[in-house]
Chains A and B, each alone.
Chain A
Amino acid sequence: GQQLNQSPQSMFIQEGEDVSMNCTSSSIFNTWLWYKQEPGEGPVLLIALYKAGELTSNGRLTAQFGITRKDSFLNISASIPSDVGIYFCAGRNPYNQGGKLIFGQGTELSVKP
């Protein structure tokens, strides 16, 4: 089946550092979504991207929809301890019925105060 490759799998950084993670797909997507999941909770939507080249910010978070439509990245600037969690990318294939999403394996972020 279709695969999403998300990297890195985990990151351990110092508070105040910037973070970057990305996802690549074997085929084109028409939507990229970024979610954050904290322990014991469901994924929460951070940013939604709908057009190739689109760059969208949400506070200290910035995400871009790659020009090739096969990749997306998420940047977090000046990380703080509450940024800890697992970040998932998800993409939607234009040929998939039912609005189904394909999820990356997640990037686990740890922030040292």
Chain B
Amino acid sequence: DAGITQSPRYKITETGRQVTLMCHQTWSHSYMFWYRQDLGHGLRLIYYSAAADITDKGEVPDGYVVSRSKTENFPLTLESATRSQTSVYFCASSENSNQPQHFGDGTRLSIL
């Protein structure tokens, strides 16, 4: 039971570069979410998706792009990375809008 996996686990890149964080779940959950976790801010929702081809903004969407062409994958792209996007990124999924969310182990992203 692989669950939900994120890749890469660690990434260092430079300001202005494009970077994509991957998220894959094996549960066939309808809902998927991207959060960033920063000291002093806790977990903040970036984007979420209710199903394939349906995405919506969360609390802090600026600077990020998502897509969901397949139910099991929900990649997050930083089109032109900035230092303020240095953070730990978590992907989560849930069976539907009423069930708990289950989290991956995160991607630690550093932007120099």
Number of interface residues of B (CB under 8 A): 24
User: When the two chains form their complex, are residues A99 and B43 in contact, meaning their CB atoms are under 8 A apart?
Assistant: no
User: When the two chains form their complex, are residues B58 and A42 in contact, meaning their CB atoms are under 8 A apart?
Assistant: no
Contacts A99-B31, A103-B42 known; A43 to B103 CB distance under 8 Å?
A: yes
Q: Which of B42, B50, B59 contacts A106 (CB 8 A)?
A: B42
Contact partners of A48 in chain B: CB under 8 A: 100
Q: Closest B residue to A104 by CB, please name it.
A: B42
Number of interface residues of A (CB under 8 A): 23
Contact partners of B103 in chain A: CB under 8 A: 35, 42-44
A33 to chain B, nearest CB (A): 5
User: When the two chains form their complex, are residues A98 and B56 in contact, meaning their CB atoms are under 8 A apart?
Assistant: yes
B18 within 8 A of A: no
Alpha-carbon distance A97/B102, docked complex (angstroms): 18
Number of A-B contacts (CB under 8 A): 54
Contact partners of B96 in chain A: CB under 8 A: 99
Mostly, the A contact residues are mixed
Contacts A42-B103, A43-B90 known; A99 to B97 CB distance under 8 Å?
A: yes
Q: Which of B56, B100, B104 contacts A45 (CB 8 A)?
A: B100
A112 within 8 A of B: no
A residues with a Cβ closer than 8 A to B are 1, 31, 33, 35, 40-45, 48, 88, 90, 92, 97-101, 103-106
